[in-house]
């Protein structure tokens, strides 16, 4: 059964308690011959998947996250659910379990950025080789400016681009990454000993508080203000879509191979629709 194979790749027990990963829409007895991969199940990706003839849409972000008071066609979500059912197209998501799993979002991001000897930033209680985020080494030390330039070139282009906090000349060797919103785990990134943390959706006041706390800590240890600035972990903030979407191609290859080993031959398609809600950045001047 295809669902069993997907759950073996991205175990539900790896999902955070608040998450809504897994099968959101679908007939458990329906055959699966074509799987469409996308970051989000929105009208545009759903329409493309159905037009292509997909039996299953595999997404990273859950299609139904909050309880629905009704499933009616006057509501966008309800209309899409009806559309999916009429087309016999299921929707499955691997969200935080896809983040923590081997070969998941964070392994893909770490590989894209050239990290070596990676390990989870926050190991799973059930298996320390799995978990949220990844920490690894660069092949050779580089400046923060050069590292940020490399991140910008490696990730999909977005309206937000890449934002950096830290001394451009800071030497970077050890890197922590967490695809998607990682502000809540910034202290875990510090505890990993990383020189820089690559994640998304960082908030203005949270970053100010973090920088102040780090600098004050190092100054209390006897460092000068300049040295404390150098010691403070740098942060590279990317667009949410950019840090997670590189995983889709990896997921498609992995799912195809695992299903083939079990005797299922499926056709896959990775969506090139950009579901980043931000569409452009106006020019200055």
174-188 residue pLDDT tens: 999 999 999 999 999
Identify the band that residue 285 occupies on the pLDDT scale cut at 50, 70 and 90: confident
**Which tens digit of pLDDT belongs to each residue from 178-233?**
999 999 999 999 999 999 999 999 999 999 999 999 999 999 999 999 999 889 99
**Residue closest to 44 by CA, chosen among 281, 284, 282, 279:** 279
Predicted pLDDT at 196: 98
Distances (CA, A) of 23 to 147, 243, 257: 38, 24, 20
What's the pLDDT at 256? Answer: 96
Q: Is the pLDDT of residue 117 over 80?
A: yes
User: Of 89, 98, 84, which Cα lies nearest the Cα of 32?
Assistant: 89
Alpha-carbon distance values, 250 to 219, 256, 272 (Å)? 44, 10, 14
Using one digit for the tens of pLDDT, what is the confidence trace for 24-41? 999 999 999 999 999 999
Average pLDDT over residues 77-105: 97
As given in the structure block, the two tokens for residue 256 are 């195809």
How high is the mean pLDDT of the chain?
A: 96
Contact (CB, 8 A) for 164 and 151: no
pLDDT value for 283: 87
pLDDT (mean) for 71-100: 96
User: Residue 57 above 80 pLDDT?
Assistant: yes
CB 93 within 8 Å of CB 126: no
Work out the pLDDT band at 284, boundaries 50, 70, 90.
confident
pLDDT band, residue 126 (cuts 50/70/90): confident
Query: Could you tell me how far CA 19 lies from the centroid of its own chain?
Result: 14
Residue 1 has pLDDT above 80, yes or no: no
């Amino acid at each position: 059964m295809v669902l069993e194979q997907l759950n073996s790749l991205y175990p539900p027990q790896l999902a955070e308690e608040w998450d809504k990963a897994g099968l959101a829409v679908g007939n458990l007895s329906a055959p699966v011959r074509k799987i469409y991969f996308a970051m989000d199940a929105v009208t545009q990706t759903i329409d493309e998947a159905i037009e292509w003839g997909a039996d299953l849409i595999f997404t990273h972000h859950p299609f139904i996250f909050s309880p629905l008071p009704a499933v009616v066609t006057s509501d966008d979500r309800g209309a899409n659910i009806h559309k999916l059912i009429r087309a016999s197209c299921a929707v499955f998501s691997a969200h935080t379990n896809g983040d923590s799993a081997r070969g998941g979002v964070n392994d893909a991001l770490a590989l894209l950025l050239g990290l070596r000897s990676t390990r989870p930033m926050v190991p799973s209680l059930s298996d320390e080789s799995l978990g949220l985020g990844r920490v690894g080494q660069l092949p050779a030390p580089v400046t923060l400016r050069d590292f940020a330039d490399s991140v910008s070139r490696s990730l999909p282009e977005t309206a937000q681009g890449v934002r950096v906090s830290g001394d451009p000349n800071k030497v970077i060797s050890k890197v922590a990454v967490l695809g998607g919103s990682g502000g809540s785990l910034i202290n875990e990134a510090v505890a990993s000993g990383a020189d820089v943390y690559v994640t998304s959706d960082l908030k203005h006041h949270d970053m100010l508080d973090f920088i102040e706390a780090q600098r004050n800590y190092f100054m209390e240890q006897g460092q000068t203000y300049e040295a404390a600035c150098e010691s403070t972990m740098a942060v590279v903030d990317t667009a949410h879509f950019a840090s997670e979407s590189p995983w889709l191609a990896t997921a498609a290859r992995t799912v195809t191979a695992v299903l083939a080993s079990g005797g299922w031959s499926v056709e896959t398609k990775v969506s090139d629709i950009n579901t980043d809600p931000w569409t452009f950045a106006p020019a200055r001047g």
